[in-house]
Amino acid sequence: MKKKIIACLMLAVMVMGLLGGCGSNKNQVLILSSSEEFRNEAISKMLKEKFPNYDIQLQYMSTGNNAAKLKAEGTSTDCDIVLGLEVGYLQQNSGILADLSSYDTSAYLDELLPADHTYLPWERYSGCIAIREDILKEKGLAVPTSYEDLLKPEYKGLISMPSPKASGTGYMFLLSLVNAWGEDKAFEYFDKLSENILQFTTSGSGPVNALVQGEAAIGLGMTFQTVAEFNKNVPLSLHYFQEGAPYNTCGIAIVKGKENNPVVKEIFDYLSTEVVRMDKERFVPERIFKDQEISIANYPQDIPYADMSTQDAVATKEHLLSKWNH
């Protein structure tokens, strides 16, 4: 009888040990990225080459879903590293992000660093007015030189813009004009502009894609995407109006408690030093480092950034989007 009891106890211990090991693989790391898929593919390739013995899962998650997951799950989330999330959402979730004050941040532009040291800068990307001048020429139309020009009836059905409710790119255009003109005038403007809009797209890349396909002639889109298409010989021109180029900033962070896993920290260190430099050289080159040079062909060197300041980024965004009804 004793032998049977001992055998049962040993079996129970073995089973508990196996169950306890499930989901606790220290070499498994989950990265949730809100960067575009083509950038994620390049990042994944670098990670696999650098860490062939680690199980690194890099999954795309839209900005809103990424932020909502963090907020809902807190430090119990299965996510280890958050990549390419807008800084407003990172600030909103700062209580569940690891303290990164031990990292040397002297290489970054000072204005991009958070006071609470809960994330490191990942990117800054701007918006622009992208134009298919050949389509305008065919229609006998002039190239617009101001936001007010876009209200002219001759541009009706030729303009594409991302919806601020669905796209961070669309929201940055909205915020930039709110800051430049005041809330009432900005919303009055977009009410009028909506009459000329061919389509409010659900993604920031939608307007430039519409230009590439010849569906629209004017797009409120992203600078890096416009330049990339121009470098593929798509006949696009890039413009910034008097109010300046709206822009967004994103960061990279570790979920609090996950920094104690040396594998997570090792991967984060590589992402925040080597991989981020690759991403800036190949895809979104706008400066986040003091020594950074823009080497992508035809990329604007001195972008006239708009005023994107706000006291409470998340509260301001919620307020402005609650008023958007297009």
The pLDDT tens digits for 50-71 are 999 999 999 998 887 888 899 9
Q: What angle do CA 138, 143, 145 make, to 5 degrees?
A: 170
Q: For residue range 121-147, list pLDDT tens digits in order.
A: 999 999 999 999 999 999 999 999 999
**In the structure, what pLDDT confidence band is assigned to residue 282 with cuts at 50, 70 and 90?**
very high
Q: For residue range 91-125, list pLDDT tens digits in order.
A: 989 999 999 999 999 999 999 999 999 999 999 99
Q: For residue range 169-213, list pLDDT tens digits in order.
A: 999 999 999 999 999 999 999 999 999 999 899 888 999 999 999
Q: For residue range 5-39, list pLDDT tens digits in order.
A: 444 444 443 443 333 333 346 789 999 999 989 99
Q: How many CB atoms lie within 10 A of CB 147?
A: 21
**In the structure, what pLDDT confidence band is assigned to residue 4 with cuts at 50, 70 and 90?**
very low
What is the pTM for the complete model shown? 0.84
State how far the Cα of 109 lies from the Cα of 86, in Å rounded to an integer.
17
Structure tokens at 164: 């601020």
Contact indicator for 230, 196 with CB cutoff of 8 Å: no
Is the confidence at residue 306, as pLDDT, over 50?
yes
Buried/exposed 163-194: b ≥16 CB within 10 Å, e otherwise: bbbbbbbbbbbbbbbbbbeeeeebbebbeebe
Q: DSSP label at 54?
A: S
Is the confidence at residue 240, as pLDDT, over 80?
yes
- Mean pLDDT across the chain: 91
| Integer-rounded Cα radius of gyration of the chain | 23
Structural domains in the chain plus CATH codes: 27-124+248-282 (3.40.190.10), 126-247+302-323 (3.40.190.10)
Q: How many CB atoms lie within 10 A of CB 60?
A: 17
Query: Quick one: CA dihedral 116, 119, 121, 123, positive or negative?
Result: negative
Contact indicator for 227, 299 with CB cutoff of 8 Å: yes
Contact indicator for 288, 123 with CB cutoff of 8 Å: yes
- To the nearest whole percent, how much of the chain has pLDDT over 70? 92
pLDDT at 13: 39
**In the structure, what pLDDT confidence band is assigned to residue 313 with cuts at 50, 70 and 90?**
confident
